[in-house]
Amino acid sequence: MEINRTSRLPLYQQIYEILRGQLIRGKWAPGESFPTEFELIREFQVSRVTIRQVMDRLASDGFIYRQRGRGTFVAEPTLEEGLTRIISFTEDMRRRGLAAGTKVLVSTILPATDDVAIALRIKPGEEVVYLKRLRSANNEPMCIEESHLNHRLCPGILDHDFSIQPLREILESKFRIRISRALQKIHAVVSDEEMNQMLKTPNPSALLFIERTSFNDYDTPVEFLRLFFRGDRYSLYNELKD
Amino acid sequence: MEINRTSRLPLYQQIYEILRGQLIRGKWAPGESFPTEFELIREFQVSRVTIRQVMDRLASDGFIYRQRGRGTFVAEPTLEEGLTRIISFTEDMRRRGLAAGTKVLVSTILPATDDVAIALRIKPGEEVVYLKRLRSANNEPMCIEESHLNHRLCPGILDHDFSIQPLREILESKFRIRISRALQKIHAVVSDEEMNQMLKTPNPSALLFIERTSFNDYDTPVEFLRLFFRGDRYSLYNELKD
DNA sequence: TAGTGGTCTAGACCACAAA
DNA sequence: TTGTGGTCTAGACCACTAA
């Protein structure tokens, strides 16, 4: 874990990426002491302001919290992160104390419909990878997920087994596509017959319906996602300020 | 707008509050130039680092955005703010281009039920102000709002007219209670007969259901709120990072 | 008392945009 | 060329916690 002083990437960003990666990979347990400012100053040989810039960001991201006079500590994972960071379904369920499962229902290539084309900023009729999965938690159905990928950006992706390897991992390792941000819309809808069958919900049921467009580093839409969560089992949590 | 150098409140926080207040009150129009760093340095007579600390926060709050070489500008109001800041129903509707209306359905004092008591951290049976309102947008029903206030914190609040003056304003001016943060849970539920009548929705309909507990500066729960939004008319928006 | 995080300063050099 | 925001430095003093 070295920083590059000749890189055009600012020092604080390099250090941020390093520490953030270590936090996500679980280098420290929640509640454990995080290195002090002066330890990080020694380790990376930068000024205190630069280290504090990094720690301010890690704190506002919710990864660490600081206590004057005591030190800095690693924060517990929160459910709120599902509304601020892009985390996988598996990770989301783990935080809720549930074991995630996946069943691929459909995986094929289709011409883009008008709404999908608009979301992906492509022409209607262009090739879209359509992936429909049933997501479960503790072996009970939890969510229907319909993914639409711009096939031009990930040709041949259908050869992979989506029930084993996470989609984002495939995009990153095989196609060098990193999802850096996403915009989403959250609604409530009534389930239809087909959904009730798949989700084992009574008729009628309410579903938490999320439409999400994910973008790569160059702000090109990569994926358009529709998520239908069981309203009786899944809620979102967050904090409002001021 | 002066800062107090002998106050225990840090300079950057004082300046932040001043500028934030001016931004919220609309001192500058969206898109308009915000004062440059050096103008603010001159105005408040503090160092550049301090001003940047303020502007970093205003930027991450979404109030301003900066462009290297060009300057700093006032951001457009976004719908996302409804998921990060505590904004009033009226303000939320305004951002959606709708005119808000309010009809008070019930306003009374009740003993706290178990769930409300837990949320407000009081004993079951203690006095709670119960306020039920029908919120409308462009004269169409949009939301049923059930508010539960800890009556001990705002005795006599029922004398006010909630259809005219915003609840938060009454709390602030009459009882010196400032809501500084809130925790909420977002679900989807199916409407019942009574709700369908009030909201003029068909049976069955899906509602976006939000439960929110609001806290004052001392982290005491002040209000427990249940919001039932029409699923066909109301959605939440937000951005996910990385 | 020693160590931690919180605040603040003056000053430097850089990249970028506009005139 | 000028002015803007972006990054980085060394150093200072303070408030709080724990030993």
CATH among 1.10.3720.10, 1.20.120.720, 3.30.360.10, 1.10.10.10 for B11-74: 1.10.10.10
Classify domain B79-237 by CATH number.
3.40.1410.10
Question: How high is the mean pLDDT in each 10-residue block of chain B (242 residues)?
Answer: 87 95 94 95 94 95 94 93 93 95 96 98 97 97 98 94 89 93 97 97 97 93 98 96 84
Interface residues of chain A, partner chain B, Cβ below 8 Å: 49, 60, 83-86, 179-190, 204-209, 212, 229, 231, 234-242
Question: CA dist B2 to B11, B21, B27, B152, Å?
Answer: 11, 13, 17, 35
* pLDDT of chain A, 242 residues: tens digit per residue: 788 888 889 999 999 999 999 999 999 999 999 999 999 999 999 999 999 999 999 999 999 999 999 999 999 999 998 999 999 999 999 999 999 999 999 999 999 999 999 999 999 999 999 999 999 999 999 999 999 999 999 999 999 988 888 999 999 999 999 999 999 999 999 999 999 999 999 999 999 999 999 999 888 999 999 999 999 999 999 999 88
Task: Locate A7 and state its tokens.
Answer: 């890189």
- C-alpha distance from residue A231 to each of A1, A79, A218 (Å): 44, 16, 35
Task: Using a 7 Å cut-off to protein CB atoms, list the covered nucleotides of chain D.
Answer: 3-12, 15-18
CA distance A92 to chain B (A): 14
Q: Which residues from A are below 8 Å from B68, CB to CB? A: none
Contact residues, chain B, for A239 at CB < 8 Å: 181-184
Are A39 and A48 in contact by the 8 Å Cβ rule? The answer is no
Least Cα separation, residue B26 to chain A (angstroms): 17
The pLDDT value given to residue B126? 97
Look at residue B3 in the predicted model and tell me its pLDDT. Answer: 87
What is the distance in angstroms between the CA of the first residue and the CA of the last residue of chain A? 38
pLDDT at residue number A163: 82
Among chain B residues, CA nearest to A49:
B49
Helix, strand or coil, per DSSP, at residue B3: coil
For position B163, what pLDDT does the model report?
A: 82
**Out of A185, A229, A238, whose CB is closest to B184?**
A238
Q: What angle do CA A41, B68, A184 make, to 5 degrees?
A: 85
> What b/e readout covers B115-142, taking b as 16+ CB neighbours within 10 angstroms?
ebbebbebeeeeebbbbbbbbbbeeebb
User: By C-alpha distance, which of A188, A204, A83, A185 is closest to B208?
Assistant: A188
Please state, in angstroms and rounded to a whole number, the distance separating the CA atoms of residues B74 and A152: 37
How far apart CA A144 and CA B226 sit, in angstroms, is: 27
- Structural domain spans, chain B: 11-74, 79-237
